[in-house]
Amino acid sequence: MHKIIEKEILNSVVEKIVVEAPFVARKCEPGQFVIIRVEEDGERIPLTIADYNREDKTVTLIYQVVGYTTKLLSEKNKGDFISDVAGPLGKATKLEKKNRVLGIAGGVGAAPLYPQIRKLNELGVKTDIIIGGRSKENIILEDEFRKISENIYFATNDGSEGTKGFVTDVLNELIKNGEKYDEIITIGPVIMMKAVVEITKKLNIPTSVSLNPIMIDGTGMCGGCRVKIGEETKFACVDGPDFDGFLVDFDGLMRKQTMFKEEEQEKDHKCKIGLD
């Protein structure tokens, strides 16, 4: 059992918890994730490690309340326990000393981006950040990023914070104004990462993306997280989740996501009419 040490409501659909997980906290690095079970007989879900404290033996998890298990997790409060926190899983992000790096996050993608930018900051790398969301409410970790980055920019669909539009609008403006970056790290919805890569690939700016397709066991056994990287088939849970954005088959990944959503909708329909 793992005790919830802290809990914070970040907005109407996103929450943050700090959980006791000594074995994970001892070994985890930016880019890795855990698989949790809220209850002993519950569903397994992957969550990115948004932060960790080796001394306190804790990890920070940020999640969006969208399904049954995250709703169940949302009902937990400070002092409560969750059944399992398995990890760290996946490969740690390869972060090296560079002159300047741009991080681009969409929605809860800010959570896995944060530990990477913090590590770069510790290496002495100058970083800028673009955070996108539907509205100002959907912008998370602004204060945390301000402490470790030189510049922070925002893009919201409704214009309630920063540029009205998309993160790519801000990216294009920065490039137009002569900003130079050695690398770009982008994490968020697949369609957003694809759009960023379409820009950076033309400019030959190395771009890392983080992929989070359907994962069941986190060890590559189920095969649900297969992704095509260049001419190879990789498993996001053991070979990633970070990959070279120039090599990712985004169209194939989006088709796979659509198929899964259709299957879930069909399953829900059958349940409602008593066929499953």
Could you read off the pLDDT tens digit of each residue along the chain, which spans 276 residues?
899 999 999 988 899 999 999 999 999 999 999 988 898 888 888 888 999 999 999 999 999 888 888 899 999 999 999 998 988 998 888 898 999 999 999 988 999 999 999 999 999 999 999 999 999 999 999 999 999 999 999 999 999 999 999 999 999 999 999 999 999 999 999 899 999 999 999 999 999 998 875 666 566 566 667 788 888 888 777 777 889 999 988 888 888 766 554 444 443 433 334 444
Q: Give residue 217's pLDDT.
A: 59
**265 by DSSP, 3-state: which?**
helix
Domain match, 71 and 168 both: no
Kindly state whether residue 95 falls inside one of the protein's structural domains: no
Same-domain pairing of 271 and 200: no
Q: Are residues 194 and 233 in the same domain?
A: no
181 marked ligand binding residue: no
Domain that holds residue 31: 2-89
Pair 139, 183 in one domain: yes
pTM for this structure? 0.85
Total domains in the chain come to 3
Q: Last residue of a domain, which of 29, 54, 89? A: 89
Cβ neighbours of 229 (radius 10 Å): 18
The answer on whether 271 is annotated among ligand-binding residues is no
Domain co-membership, 206 together with 182: yes
160 and 248 assigned to the same domain: no
- Residues 168, 191: Cα–Cα separation, whole Å: 11
Of 44, 62, 89, the last residue of a domain is 89
Q: Give CA–CA dist 227/249, Å, rounded.
A: 7
Find out whether 222 is annotated in a ligand binding site: yes
Give the C-alpha separation, 25 to 142, whole Å. Answer: 24
Q: Closest Cα to residue 21, out of 71, 83, 78?
A: 83
